[in-house]
Structure 1
Amino acid sequence: MSQKQTHEFQTEVSQLLHLMIHSLYSNKEIFLRELVSNASDAIDKLKFESLSNESLLEGKEEPSIYIDIDKDAGTISIRDNGIGMTQDEVMENIGTIANSGTRKYLESLDKNQTQDSNLIGQFGVGFYSAFIVSNTVTLLSRKAGDDKANGTKWVSKGKGEYSIETVDIENYGTTIILDVKKAEKEFVDDYRLRGIVSKYSDHITVPIMMVKASEEDESEIVYETINKATAFWMKDKKELSQNDYDEFYKSLTYDFEGPLTQIHNRVEGKLDYSSLLFIPKKAPFDMWEPKRKGGVKLYAKRVFIMEGNEELLPQYLRFIKGVIDTADLSLNVSREILQGSKVVDTIKKASVKRILSELDKMSKNKPEDYATFWKEFGMVIKEGVVEDFANKDKISNLLRFASTSTDSSDQTVSLKDYIGRMNKDQKNIYYVTADNYDAAKGSPHLEIFKQKDIEVLLLSDRVDEWLVANFGEFEELSLKSIAKGDLEDLDSKEDKKKKEKTVKDYEKVISKAQEILDNQVKEVKVSSRLSESPSCLVADENELGGNMERIMKSLGQDVPDTKPILEINPTHPLVMKLKTKVDEDVVKVLFDQAVLSEGGQIKEPAEFVKRMNKLMLG
């Protein structure tokens, strides 16, 4: 037995404990659901590990979860014979939260606890909910396969520190003992706990056992199963209510509210499998973490195999939660075998088709639900256009954007909406990209489009640049950037004649301005796009735009050495002034203004200020 050591919780854990205890007080009974779900996961892991190493089971009893009450001591014990933990694993899993996105998320929770307290379950750290009802929590655990002398005892009052020591533990698995607060004595009651299990954990496939009251001999301890212990996803969906689905989803995902919708299917024939997939209401806090695992669990013949494998669903559907259970995979399947499995590939294709079909139905029949979905997961769905070419058309129909036809930054405009409002002679779907919505809405490139009453999509998500670069066509129409190439298709014959005359009038101005900005621009042109602003920057049709260059640089990627085109507005007083005298300061100010108007950074801010002051003083 090792000497007892005391450690402090990681800062994020202390914050999480505070939020658990104070923000979730009104829903305190969930502590049992969380601890039972953890125990079930531990048993699933042992089942999987024992497929390749039977000795881990040590010839012990069938996998079960036991809930015991000691009314005299005021304690509740939750015991499982699952995989168990080593001392290092206990410290890692309970003392710290190993995720770089956690700190930022917790800080946002601290600012508005009421708004987001129900999202704490997304951390997958339901263990901490034990402190809602407990003065002290004691955890005893031994890893399956380890010697009984290598057990671990962990104790904490949830106030910033915990003690840990090595102890003898006869059986592998984990036991959690809750010293229940006096104010929460309602939970030290057999009937109350059975009700909570029935409400939240009835579907769990592992038997949940409690002591059966014996009429003959009260000293005899006999356990009985208090849950149905059947695979929820194998049930007939006609027999299930929405509340049934909601409770299953909550225990599966540690979410504190039900899903937006679910897709429940049973397939028999060449393949035999069941799938129950959920679309959450809220995005997980770590959705953009590179190492984040997906939320679909794979079962073979109701035995848990693995979770979060990309072979089950593509990355752009990583927010989907649920279960896929098939009779066509062996129990000892590995991740490597999954990669070449025709069974998994067929299930994946069918699952993707169902999810996209469900989203399409939601967008048509339940627009408010779809607006909720898009706000949370729209950026991820956009990845699918590039990632899943086979389903590009279906994904394209799901896309939503902000545009000049609406007054808010909400992304509500579909490509079909846009096409339905197009001018008769319009040949393209026009868009502009920027760092944020306000920059896109204020872009000088929009001026000619406002004049001609042509709708433009306003794209400000980081993924939008990759989306449009790889999009191709939609209903035989191309997406065209209003900040690239010529816009001659917008000019009438009269416009073109007028422009030719203007270009001749400005030949000297253009030539001289080109000399002044020789190292900074590819060309200086008279603009057809501007009606109010004096200047703007344009990229060649096949070159990177300014926004894409900034994104690539921020990601540390090499950017091709290209120069923009400077377009000047011949009707603006500042430009007209150049016809009298091509002033170097004015030309350079026109260039710097164009850089700033599209969200770029000028190389010499101090010089820009001097030139502006000089111009204002006349």
Structure 2
Amino acid sequence: MMGETREFKTEVRQLLDLMIHSLYSNRDIFLRELVANAADAIDKARFESLTHPEMAKKWEIRITPDKKAKTLTISDNGIGMTQDEVVENIGTIAKSGTRAFLKLLEEQGSKKEELPELIGQFGVGFYSAFMVAGEVVIVTKKAGSDAPAVRWSSRGEGEYELDSAEKSEPGTEITLHLKEDAEQYLESWKLSGIIHKYSDFIEYPIVMPEVKVNEDKTETVTDRVLNSQKAIWLRKPSEITEEEYKSFYSHLSNFGGTEYLKAIHLSAEGTSEFKALLFLPKQAPFNLLMPDLQKRGLQLYVRRVFITDECKELIPDYLRFVCGVVDSNDLPLNVSREILQENPQLARIEKAVTAKVLSELKKLLETDREAYAGFFREFGRIFKEGLHTDFTNAEKLKDLVMYESMNTEPGKMITLAEYVAAMPESQKEIYYITGEKRESVASSPALEYFRSKGYDVLFMTDPIDDWIMQQMFQYRKKNFKSIAKGDFEVEGAADMLKAAQEKFAGLVEFLKKALGDKVGEVRFSARLTDSPCCLITEGNALSPHLERLFKAMHQEIPESKRILELNPKHPLIEAMFELSKQSDKAPELEMYAKVLFDQALLTEGSPLPDPAAFAREVTNLLLKGISGK
């Protein structure tokens, strides 16, 4: 074959410029692409060797930097190409030889499970070489063919040259004549780092010559294998040691250390074929609640080739503390491999991964309660986000969340199932109260009636709980009911409350006038047994806890007026009523009203609007009590 010059079969200049300058955001990617293509070529040759044993050999990919010539060569002993295949696969942009190869095998009747699992179904990865090379030269020879070797070369300017070449063994050799600003890719540390990051788990050895200077100043050249070839997620769990798990977890996680709670293997076949190895961490990192500082998503590999370490589409955000690897055999990617296409397979993988994680958490809850409780203390506030966002798995998530309660000792948590199982027969709803911490909610006067009846109340003290409970209505056909919101009905109490409202009507009107716009209503309630009063929120209004959170985030929200509920059986209410009958005691009674309101704020854990005024009023009351005046 005489040398000849041809033009690419596409709008070459514009498209090549796009490929070289715009397609990839990281120049290191070129080596990943060329190594992946070499692995594909060996896959094809190895598949052919099943029916042609004479083709079998010790497969390898070789990387050879030459600092003097300023060239980098990537070679393989795979299937190679004929001239027509070079023109077809290299001369036409976005023409994938791998895709054509698979199609041919399928047309020949090969079963899908018998086909080699190839990653090169992208078509343009080869052209990433022009990001670092001013000229690219390919010398290739087809295995199992008498066709002569072919030399292909191009400067990426719209033309390429074809010529015959001398090559004794089948395979492909790609030589990059590096640009001046790309000479770092001649350094062994740089090349080994890229291979470790992107191609460490390629199943064929990736070797590079290493020169050692002897004492007599002679040089010895040995081959160094750059990749581990050990894809731990493809092995059986029984074959993996604890040290290997710890080492891999340390490599994957952003949490630091080697200690993890549980390793989870997942293998899926059928519509979407993939394998995964996931880890539940033991401890939350300092940046768990800092989304800008924390990586999210799983590492994605396609046929052992690293694609990205933050594939957020593979796992829901409320499980972002899970770290791990998903390795897909057939996941379609876009031409650069850097951005995943919107593809139904992604959703199927995410669904399978989510189901597996939730299933393993359920097992952990049932078999090792202490370990699960420790996990939930670390990650519960993140995990509970799923109650608001994952409607598909809502019931599974409800089975897994835990809370402290009025009847548990501090620090001990119970599940919703345990709460429902312990409910007295007379209790019809699941009662809860939200707040900033256990100490504040445990002292709330709103608990008094429930304590007297032997009902338990869930303490929801995570900042996210208020937000979640706005739409978590039921569990096992039991409605959730906030004990600090809305009306509260006690059987047989209606007549008593009606009588109190009539008897103390004058005091109620006085309190409304004295407190003004601080309250929306003053009324009597049966929810109090020991305290004189408490503050309640209307059913649809934001709780004071949630209001404080929004204000801390500088969110403008409408101020909601609270309801002051009074205990008609408390002696303080009776004393204030008697005082209200004396017109000359109105200023004194007004001070009592303000102290009463501030006391209600303190007992629910809310800040006082004017602490100094409250201190003065309490001082006056103390002085009066001591002096007897």
**TM-score relative to the length of structure 2:** 0.65
Q: Is the 8 A contact 1:47 1:303 kept in 2?
A: no
Cα distance, 1:397 vs structure 2: 0.5
The verdict on how the C-alpha distance between 1:227 and 1:305 changes in structure 2, with shifts beyond 3 A counting, is closer
Matches within 5 A, 1:493-504: 493=492, 495-504=493-502
- Spell out, residue by residue over 1:80-132, the C-alpha distance to the aligned partner (whole angstroms, 9 max, x if none): xxx9xx9xxxxxxxxxxxxxxxxxxxxxxxxxxxxxxxxxxxxxxxxxxxxxx
Cα distance, 1:47 vs structure 2: 4.6
Amino acid at match of 1:352: T
Cα distance, 1:593 vs structure 2: 1.1
Cα distance, 1:604 vs structure 2: 2.2
Per the alignment, residue 223 of structure 1 pairs with: 223
Amino acid at match of 2:420: I
| Structure 1 unaligned spans of 5+ | 1-41, 64-82, 87-143, 152-168, 178-196
Amino acid at match of 1:237: P
CA distance, structure 1, for counterparts of residue 441 and residue 480 of structure 2? 16
CA distance, structure 1, for counterparts of residue 565 and residue 268 of structure 2? 60
Per the alignment, residue 531 of structure 1 pairs with: 529
CA distance, structure 2, for counterparts of residue 43 and residue 323 of structure 1? 24
Q: Is the 8 A contact 1:546 1:598 kept in 2?
A: no
Q: 2:606 aligns with which of 594, 600, 607?
A: 600
CA distance, structure 2, for counterparts of residue 417 and residue 561 of structure 1? 37
- Spell out, residue by residue over 1:36-90, the C-alpha distance to the aligned partner (whole angstroms, 9 max, x if none): xxxxxx9985555779999xx9963559xxxxxxxxxxxxxxxxxxx9xx9xxxx
CA distance, structure 1, for counterparts of residue 270 and residue 181 of structure 2? 51
Per the alignment, residue 328 of structure 1 pairs with: 330
CA distance, structure 1, for counterparts of residue 471 and residue 430 of structure 2? 15
Q: Is the 8 A contact 1:440 1:458 kept in 2?
A: yes
- Spell out, residue by residue over 1:370-389, the C-alpha distance to the aligned partner (whole angstroms, 9 max, x if none): 12211111111100101111
Q: Is the 8 A contact 1:44 1:303 kept in 2?
A: no
Q: 1:387 aligns with which of 361, 386, 389?
A: 389
- Spell out, residue by residue over 1:390-420, the C-alpha distance to the aligned partner (whole angstroms, 9 max, x if none): 110011100000101111134x210001001
| Secondary structure of the structure 2 residue equivalent to 1:274 | strand
Cα distance, 1:175 vs structure 2: 5.7
Per the alignment, residue 371 of structure 2 pairs with: 369
Cα distance, 1:233 vs structure 2: 1.4
| Secondary structure of the structure 1 residue equivalent to 2:534 | strand
The verdict on how the C-alpha distance between 1:264 and 1:212 changes in structure 2, with shifts beyond 3 A counting, is farther
Per the alignment, residue 443 of structure 1 pairs with: 444
Q: Is the 8 A contact 2:319 2:383 kept in 1?
A: yes
The verdict on how the C-alpha distance between 1:277 and 1:52 changes in structure 2, with shifts beyond 3 A counting, is closer
Q: Is the 8 A contact 2:441 2:605 kept in 1?
A: no
- Spell out, residue by residue over 1:398-455, the C-alpha distance to the aligned partner (whole angstroms, 9 max, x if none): 0000101111134x21000100111212121111111112111111111111111110
| Secondary structure of the structure 2 residue equivalent to 1:499 | helix
Per the alignment, residue 306 of structure 1 pairs with: 308
Matches within 5 A, 1:64-463: 148=180, 169=184, 171=186, 174=189, 219-225=219-225, 228-253=228-253, 255-291=256-292, 292-330=294-332, 332=334, 338=340, 340-410=342-412, 412-463=413-464
The verdict on how the C-alpha distance between 1:46 and 1:614 changes in structure 2, with shifts beyond 3 A counting, is farther
Per the alignment, residue 42 of structure 2 pairs with: none
Per the alignment, residue 6 of structure 1 pairs with: none
Q: 2:568 aligns with which of 567, 570, 573?
A: 570
Amino acid at match of 1:530: L
Matched, 1:540 2:542: no
CA distance, structure 2, for counterparts of residue 447 and residue 580 of structure 1? 26
Per the alignment, residue 107 of structure 2 pairs with: none
The verdict on how the C-alpha distance between 1:407 and 1:572 changes in structure 2, with shifts beyond 3 A counting, is same
Per the alignment, residue 159 of structure 1 pairs with: none
CA distance, structure 2, for counterparts of residue 480 and residue 343 of structure 1? 40
Q: Is the 8 A contact 2:36 2:305 kept in 1?
A: no
CA distance, structure 1, for counterparts of residue 283 and residue 473 of structure 2? 31
CA distance, structure 2, for counterparts of residue 471 and residue 213 of structure 1? 67
Larger mean CA deviation between 45-54 and 304-313 belongs to 45-54
Q: Is the 8 A contact 2:404 2:459 kept in 1?
A: yes
Amino acid at match of 1:561: E
Cα distance, 1:227 vs structure 2: 6.9
Cα distance, 1:226 vs structure 2: 8.4
- Spell out, residue by residue over 1:254-303, the C-alpha distance to the aligned partner (whole angstroms, 9 max, x if none): 63223211111222222221111111111122111122321410111211
Larger mean CA deviation between 393-402 and 602-611 belongs to 602-611
Q: Is the 8 A contact 1:432 1:458 kept in 2?
A: yes
CA distance, structure 2, for counterparts of residue 268 and residue 298 of structure 1? 17
Larger Rg: 2
Per the alignment, residue 473 of structure 1 pairs with: 474
Q: Is the 8 A contact 1:208 1:225 kept in 2?
A: yes
The verdict on how the C-alpha distance between 1:385 and 1:361 changes in structure 2, with shifts beyond 3 A counting, is same
Q: Is the 8 A contact 1:574 1:586 kept in 2?
A: no
CA distance, structure 2, for counterparts of residue 170 and residue 418 of structure 1? 62
Cα distance, 1:466 vs structure 2: 1.0
CA distance, structure 2, for counterparts of residue 44 and residue 282 of structure 1? 34
Cα distance, 1:512 vs structure 2: 1.3
**TM-score relative to the length of structure 1:** 0.67
| Secondary structure of the structure 2 residue equivalent to 1:322 | strand
Cα distance, 1:476 vs structure 2: 1.1
Q: Is the 8 A contact 2:35 2:74 kept in 1?
A: no
CA distance, structure 2, for counterparts of residue 348 and residue 587 of structure 1? 57
| Secondary structure of the structure 1 residue equivalent to 2:396 | helix
Amino acid at match of 2:592: V
Larger mean CA deviation between 602-611 and 203-212 belongs to 203-212
CA distance, structure 2, for counterparts of residue 204 and residue 442 of structure 1? 61
Larger mean CA deviation between 564-573 and 432-441 belongs to 564-573
| Secondary structure of the structure 1 residue equivalent to 2:326 | strand
CA distance, structure 1, for counterparts of residue 543 and residue 607 of structure 2? 14
Aligned alpha-carbon RMSD (Å): 3.7
Q: Is the 8 A contact 2:512 2:521 kept in 1?
A: yes
Amino acid at match of 2:491: S
Cα distance, 1:329 vs structure 2: 2.2
Aligned residue-pair number = 455
The verdict on how the C-alpha distance between 1:274 and 1:538 changes in structure 2, with shifts beyond 3 A counting, is same
- Spell out, residue by residue over 1:534-571, the C-alpha distance to the aligned partner (whole angstroms, 9 max, x if none): 22110111111111111111111121232100012223
Per the alignment, residue 578 of structure 2 pairs with: 580
Per the alignment, residue 23 of structure 1 pairs with: none
Per the alignment, residue 3 of structure 2 pairs with: none
Amino acid at match of 1:421: A
Larger mean CA deviation between 367-376 and 229-238 belongs to 229-238
The verdict on how the C-alpha distance between 1:204 and 1:294 changes in structure 2, with shifts beyond 3 A counting, is farther
CA distance, structure 2, for counterparts of residue 280 and residue 386 of structure 1? 23
The verdict on how the C-alpha distance between 1:462 and 1:281 changes in structure 2, with shifts beyond 3 A counting, is same
- Spell out, residue by residue over 1:160-212, the C-alpha distance to the aligned partner (whole angstroms, 9 max, x if none): xxxxxxxxx572574699xxxxxxxxxxxxxxxxxxx9xxx997978588979
The verdict on how the C-alpha distance between 1:428 and 1:62 changes in structure 2, with shifts beyond 3 A counting, is farther
| Secondary structure of the structure 2 residue equivalent to 1:515 | helix
Q: Is the 8 A contact 1:592 1:602 kept in 2?
A: yes
Matched, 1:492 2:491: yes
Per the alignment, residue 72 of structure 2 pairs with: 60
- Spell out, residue by residue over 1:341-383, the C-alpha distance to the aligned partner (whole angstroms, 9 max, x if none): 1111110101100000000010001112212211111111100
| Secondary structure of the structure 1 residue equivalent to 2:325 | strand
CA distance, structure 2, for counterparts of residue 265 and residue 380 of structure 1? 23
The verdict on how the C-alpha distance between 1:500 and 1:47 changes in structure 2, with shifts beyond 3 A counting, is farther
| Secondary structure of the structure 2 residue equivalent to 1:537 | strand
Per the alignment, residue 123 of structure 2 pairs with: none
| Secondary structure of the structure 2 residue equivalent to 1:558 | coil
The verdict on how the C-alpha distance between 1:549 and 1:430 changes in structure 2, with shifts beyond 3 A counting, is same
Q: Is the 8 A contact 1:203 1:248 kept in 2?
A: no
- Spell out, residue by residue over 1:192-248, the C-alpha distance to the aligned partner (whole angstroms, 9 max, x if none): xxxxx9xxx997978588979999x99523134387523221223332233332222
The verdict on how the C-alpha distance between 1:578 and 1:297 changes in structure 2, with shifts beyond 3 A counting, is same
Per the alignment, residue 104 of structure 1 pairs with: none
